Structure 1
């Protein structure tokens, strides 16, 4: 165990966590940035004395449970969490399933993208958040149950999707299934895919691929046919992706998005 390295990492990361991000009042008498030691101990459910000894490189080797609690208290990203476990000579816990909570910064970004259809999905293709233009372009997600917002489930039920799009989604799902083998939602999706003969045949080809970009044609009832570039921006700390639909400037599709934004505002 690298006690000194662990102590330095804990002190450094504690100084970078804003109290409001940890659900704590900011206060007015903080002489240094970040959380206080007592606050980290409280959030992690350990004694203040134990946490102080860890930061002073004289504490005992923390258990896996304590490491996990510290990772949550300090809001560590996946790579930081892995490093924390490495310092304590422990293998990091595998996540049980794709996180569902969308970071506040990502939600604020969605609101600002009022001219670009955008939504957030998790690793198993559950749509978690969206802006108004995405709802106007694709579907009214708010009118659907969370279960019916899953894109792969709609592929299984609806059919008629572009084959390349379907193959990309299934290859992505295979990567997710390998990462979250015990997640009930992922296993249920895999079972639904294998219940559809055409999709089961694609699944048996065992393609593995994480999607980064594509191109999509949408026939919209209000603005007609649009050809859009689809880009997937990874949010690594929570294994989510922001999906953006854009069109090249001065094209019919770009004008269609502009009209759709106007129609949506009027409605």
Structure 2
């Protein structure tokens, strides 16, 4: 057990030192004393507290959950083989085939990090948010303030927990029900492709029990379009309504969706996005 803890702690330190701040979306500011990420930067990327990351790296925090290990693997931009090694060092089974993958390839993370002016969120096949940038947090609120299980778009739309309570009002140009219908259509598709994923099954069962709207859409026989390109009005508490182009880009081979929000250069909406980038995200307290 002691050896396993030491291996996990050593891997965290080694891979944190290896990752370039620029590849993770941070500036290469003068005065850095370490070549890689600072501990607080890793904590921010993984949605964890700095103290918890410190205890993990010192081997004082034991038995990290699979969710914590997955978040660290994404934040460190590990390959699949490295991710599996991190899981095993934490005495956990790596994610198995046949389940919704939460792995975000390093290349996708580097690409998204270099587009920091654009709000970007990366979602899994069941619409769980697994990566986002600071501009996304500025637009939607910081997902790090939510429990990991609540960082799910379907729960935000149809659930009765923290995700639903924190979601800002969003209006699709395709009509009042189009957004919700498309998310349910995507979940149906995910269930058909991942029938053995127990977590996905529990998500669907939960939403059918707590939301009449979800239950109605789930049992509807009419086919709904999946969520792709759209124009949405987001009601932001500081800057008011902002109309943006929302594009959903599918990552081939990874079963991920990269969601971006943009506005035409020189438009009023572009100015509002600029204001969001200046003011930054709402204050967040990372979870332990």
Which TM class, normalised by the smaller chain length? 0.5 to 0.7
Q: Contact 1:153–1:192 at 8 Å: present in 2 too?
A: no
CA–CA separation in structure 2 for the residues paired with 1:190 and 1:169: 12
- Where relative contact order (Cα < 8 A, 6+ residues apart) is larger, the structure is 2
Question: Aligned partners of 2:268 and 2:199: how far apart in 1?
Answer: 39
What are the Cα deviations for residues 236-259 of structure 1, in whole angstroms up to 9, with x where unaligned? Answer: 211001100111222211110011
Matched-pair contact (CA < 8 Å) for 2:138–2:281? no
The whole-number CA distance in structure 2 between the counterparts of 1:217 and 1:182 is 36
Aligned equivalents of 2:282 and 2:151: distance in 1? 25
Q: Deviations over 1:138-164 (max 9, x none)?
A: 121112121010110111223876421
TM-score w.r.t. the length of structure 1 is 0.61
- Residue of 202, 210, 214 corresponding to 1:199: 214
- Equivalent position to 1:98, from 76, 97, 100: 100
Q: Which 4+ stretches in 1 moved above 3 angstroms?
A: 158-162
Shift of 1:265: 8.1
Give the equivalent residue in structure 2 for 1:226. 242
For structure 2, the residue ranges without an aligned partner over 5 or more in a row are 1-79, 82-95, 171-175, 284-288
1:131 Cα shift? Answer: 0.5
After TM superposition, the structure 1 stretch with the greater mean CA deviation from structure 2, 116-125 or 99-108, is 99-108
Residues matched between the structures, number:
176
2: CA distance between counterparts of 1:181 and 1:165? 24
- Once the two structures are superposed, residues 14-52 of structure 1 have per-residue CA deviations (whole angstroms, 9 ceiling, x without a partner) of xxxxxxxxxxxxxxxxxxxxxxxxxxxxxxxxxxxxxxx
Report the 3-state secondary structure (helix = DSSP H, G, I; strand = E; otherwise coil) of the residue aligned with 1:237: coil
Question: Is the contact made by 1:235 and 1:242 (CA closer than 8 Å) also made in structure 2?
Answer: yes
Aligned to 2:35: none
Show the 5 A alignment for 1:134-173.
134-157=136-159, 158=164, 162-173=176-187
Contact 1:230 1:245 in 2 (8 A): yes
Deviations 1:101-132 (A, max 9, x none): 11111111221112100010000011000000
Q: Which runs of 5+ in 1 are unaligned?
A: 1-71, 74-93
Larger helix proportion of the pair:
1
The Cα RMSD (Å) is 2.3
Aligned to 2:255: 239
